[in-house]
Amino acid sequence: MPSDSILVGLDIGTTKVCAVVGEVNERGSVEILGVGATPSRGIRRGVVINIEATMKAVLEAVEAAEMMSGRDIHNVITGIAGAQIEGINSRGVVAVTGRGREITREDIDRVIEAARAIVIPMDREVLHVIPQEYIVDDQGGIKNPLDMIGIRLEAEVHIITGSVTAAQNLLKCVNRAGFRVEDIVLQSLASSMAVLSEDEKELGVLLIDLGGGTTDVLVHLDGAPYHTSVVAIGGEQVTSDLSIMLKTPMESAERIKKEAGCCYEPLVDDEEKIIVPGVGGWPAAEIPRLETTRIIQPRMTEIFQLVRDQLSKKGYLPRLGGGVVLTGGGALLKGAVDLAQEVFGLPARLGMPTDLGGLVKEYKNPSYSTAAGLVLYGAELLGLQEDRPLASRKPKTGKSGKLRQWMKEFF
């Protein structure tokens, strides 16, 4: 645990880079000290395509967070996303070896290792191994088997894998900006820590993180992740659709989307008009706002339907008692919650980072969900909340050796 207890979450997205600085107070809770954000350059659909441009964006965002917080930043916890992310459910089985057949921490570690012993391609790496439930002598539904008596211990886990090169390039960008990466975390997992309640996770909840280049999907059932995926469409595609159909530059299309965009037709007044800026000497044009909605809504519907189809195939939709939670910058689009309710046939809400204390309130925005969640993840990663009972802590995640080795080589 660092002596200054400073935690920095760095969300390197397709359209923006966000940094959130937090500190653990004397009561053991996290307070937010500062935030910083800058337009992202060098990222496409969650993957680095320009090291130098990404490095500069990281530096600008962290420097802005340093100025607001008044703290020097050296270490960060960064998120990773992109179409290369894949989630797999696995199971491991071991015999209990402790004295009197009492399950020890070593038995739990061994069964997790057994569950993670799956074959993955050489170009992929394990990012997280998250326990879903333990089974002791055919008795399932156990969240913490420590000190129980048994002969056979099984673990069901969710394994999240990602691209080797994507992780390495991300590390390189942050390193060249002058910061050390403490850990790399799946962005949707971090967002879930910031916006979902424990009750929602137990009931079954679908988290949709609507980013600029990708849409991240995470399903929690019975308190643990069961499904992870990425849809390679995001808010940038919506902006592109507007740009093409309205024959206006991307910058103007983005502004129209943010100021007047809506993705649910019943919310738009038939008489309302908007101005589309002229291009190349052509005069500005006035068009019905409904026209932009009819461009935006089909693309947003497509994103939600792609997610719905994934979950239908796996049979998860009927188990989502906690409904749908939308977060990320794309969730701010007017009508997104209403459209999600219609497509999924489930209650939906906007996911905002929970109140973490501190004087800074800028992070209370869906755009900062991942960065705020990375700070919360860091509090557990660095052992700052280890006084909480084991059974009530969020599941520990594991990193495999190769990623740890790369981080050592870089730093």
Q: How many CB atoms lie within 10 A of CB 112?
A: 21
Structure tokens at 72: 């020097």
Q: Give pLDDT tens digits for 146-181.
A: 989 999 999 999 999 988 888 888 899 999 999 999
Domain of residue 140, CATH code: 3.30.1490.110
pLDDT above 90 for 25: no
37 burial via Cβ count (<10 Å: 0-12, 13-18, 19+): buried
Give CA–CA dist 411/409, Å, rounded.
6
Whether 125 maps to a domain, the answer reads: yes
Q: Quick one: average pLDDT of 342-368?
A: 88
- Percentage of the chain exceeding pLDDT 70: 92
Answer yes or no: are the C-beta atoms of 399 and 126 closer than 8 Å. yes
Whether 260 maps to a domain, the answer reads: no
Interacting residues of 395 by C-beta distance below 8 A, sequence separation 6+ = 130, 131, 132, 224
Q: Quick one: average pLDDT of 49-54?
A: 89
Whether 130 maps to a domain, the answer reads: yes
pLDDT of residue 407: 56
N- to C-terminal Cα separation, the chain: 18
Whether 152 maps to a domain, the answer reads: yes
- Percentage of the chain exceeding pLDDT 90: 61
Q: Quick one: average pLDDT of 374-399?
A: 54
Domain that holds residue 125: 86-161
Whether 389 maps to a domain, the answer reads: no
Whether 95 maps to a domain, the answer reads: yes
Q: How many CB atoms lie within 10 A of CB 196?
A: 21
pLDDT of residue 311: 95
188 burial via Cβ count (<10 Å: 0-12, 13-18, 19+): buried
Answer yes or no: are the C-beta atoms of 339 and 264 closer than 8 Å. yes
Closest Cα to residue 330, out of 190, 192, 211? 211
Answer yes or no: are the C-beta atoms of 40 and 212 closer than 8 Å. yes
Q: Give pLDDT tens digits for 62-78.
A: 999 999 988 899 999 99
Whether 129 maps to a domain, the answer reads: yes
What are residue 47's DSSP bridge partners? 44
pLDDT of residue 98: 75
pLDDT of residue 368: 92
Number of structural domains (the chain) is 1
Mean predicted lDDT score pLDDT of the chain: 87
Q: Give pLDDT tens digits for 257-303.
A: 999 999 999 999 888 899 888 777 778 888 999 999 999 999 999 99
Whether 191 maps to a domain, the answer reads: no
Give CA–CA dist 209/190, Å, rounded.
11
Give CA–CA dist 27/65, Å, rounded.
24
189 burial via Cβ count (<10 Å: 0-12, 13-18, 19+): buried
User: Can you point out the beta strands (E) in 29-123?
Assistant: 30-39, 43-44, 47-48, 75-80, 86-95
Q: How many CB atoms lie within 10 A of CB 390?
A: 12
pLDDT of residue 134: 96
pLDDT of residue 5: 76
Give CA–CA dist 288/217, Å, rounded.
33
Q: Give pLDDT tens digits for 26-43.
A: 777 888 999 999 998 888
pLDDT of residue 400: 47
What are residue 210's DSSP bridge partners? 215
CA-CA-CA-CA torsion for 193, 198, 202, 208, nearest 10 degrees? -40
